[in-house]
Amino acid sequence: ETGVTQTPRHLVMGMTNKKSLKCEQHLGHNAMYWYKQSAKKPLELMFVYNFKEQTENNSVPSRFSPECPNSSHLFLHLHTLQPEDSALYLCASSQDGGRRTGELFFGEGSRLTVL
Amino acid sequence: AQSVTQLGSHVSVSEGALVLLRCNYSSSVPPYLFWYVQYPNQGLQLLLKYTSAATLVKGINGFEAEFKKSETSFHLTKPSAHMSDAAEYFCAVTASGGYNKLIFGAGTRLAVHP
């Protein structure tokens, strides 16, 4: 198994749909992240969880709802999205965020297209 | 606040030529700086990092970067480009007080031609 696994790899949804992205890390890390990667824009940090507790919400619209049931799993629930939300959503994990190592381990991403 | 600027969204080099990808940062605290690489259809992978030890940092695949405080730069270099180096490269800095929160640059896409 790879270190950080994201499913689905591709998702197409209408603006009224509800869907979820899933991330699972097999590295024993205790911090997990959601990043948004849009064309021609820097990666945007969306959420951070440390030991299952949300420690960062970077002013993300409420149509994105994260869930972290345990240190190994992270979800991003999506509802009533807009076409501009189409992007690559990257999940990452790191070993405790108490030290600034900066070494994040990324999944391959979920490519989301909103019609 | 921290920020990163990568000069040149696209860089093209010949195989065997020097690779130079530029990164300048702004930080209100001593920075930790990173280069990540993203191959097509993959996530990001750490290439190298500067965490206040040696200013010349060596990474994987023959890449290295030099931290220059006076120039607020952390440019990435490789003496001889290989076709397999074609990818997108991201420079990043940790946010103040933000442990592993990374602030990324917009990325530089490296093309290597025969």
Phi–psi pair at B85, nearest 5 degrees: -80, -10
pLDDT of amino acid A1: 54
Q: Which two tokens stand for residue A21?
A: 């992205």
- Binary contact (B90, A43; C-beta < 8 A): yes
pLDDT category at B103 given cuts 50, 70, 90 is confident
DSSP chain B: --EEEEE-SEEEEETTS-EEEEEEEE-SS---EEEEEE-TTS-EEEEEEE-SS-SEEE-GGG-EEEEETTTTEEEEEESS--GGG-EEEEEEEEPTT-TT-EEE---EEEEEE-
Q: Which two tokens stand for residue B94?
A: 């940790």
- Mean pLDDT for the stretch of residues A48-64: 89
Residue A102: which of B32, B43, B105 has the nearest Cβ? B32
- Binary contact (B43, A40; C-beta < 8 A): no
pLDDT of amino acid B98: 53
A98 in contact with chain B, both atoms CB, cutoff 8 A: yes
pLDDT of amino acid A96: 67
A104 in contact with chain B, both atoms CB, cutoff 8 A: yes
Residue A45: which of B9, B42, B101 has the nearest Cβ? B101
- For residue A102, the chain B residues in CB contact (below 8 A) are 32, 34, 46, 49, 51, 92, 94, 100, 102
- Average pLDDT along chain A: 90
Whose tokens are 């290295």? That residue is B64
More confident residue, B1 or B92: B92
pLDDT category at B15 given cuts 50, 70, 90 is very high
Q: Residue A24 carries which side chain, given as an amino acid letter? A: E
- For residue B98, the chain A residues in CB contact (below 8 A) are 56
- Average pLDDT along chain B: 91
Express each pLDDT in B41-84 by its tens digit.
888 999 999 987 789 999 999 999 999 999 999 999 999 999 99
Between A2-11, B22-31, B67-76, the lowest mean confidence (pLDDT) is in B22-31
- Mean pLDDT for the stretch of residues A7-18: 93
Inform me whether the pLDDT recorded for B6 exceeds 90. yes
pLDDT category at A16 given cuts 50, 70, 90 is confident
Strands (E), chain A: 4-7, 10-13, 18-25, 31-37, 44-50, 53-57, 64-70, 73-79, 87-94, 105-106, 110-114
pLDDT of amino acid B112: 97
Inform me whether the pLDDT recorded for A100 exceeds 80. no
Beta carbons of B33 and B18 less than 8 angstroms apart: no
Question: CA–CA separation, A56 vs B70, rounded Å?
Answer: 32
Inform me whether the pLDDT recorded for A11 exceeds 60. yes
User: Shortest Cα distance from A89 to chain B (angstroms)?
Assistant: 10
B43 in contact with chain A, both atoms CB, cutoff 8 A: yes
Inform me whether the pLDDT recorded for A36 exceeds 80. yes
Phi–psi pair at B48, nearest 5 degrees: -165, 170
Query: How far is C-alpha B41 from the geometric centre of its chain's CA atoms?
Result: 19
Residue B101: which of A4, A56, A109 has the nearest Cβ? A56
Q: Residue B49 carries which side chain, given as an amino acid letter? A: K
CA of A107: how far to CAs of A8, A41, A74, A115, in Å?
11, 19, 12, 24
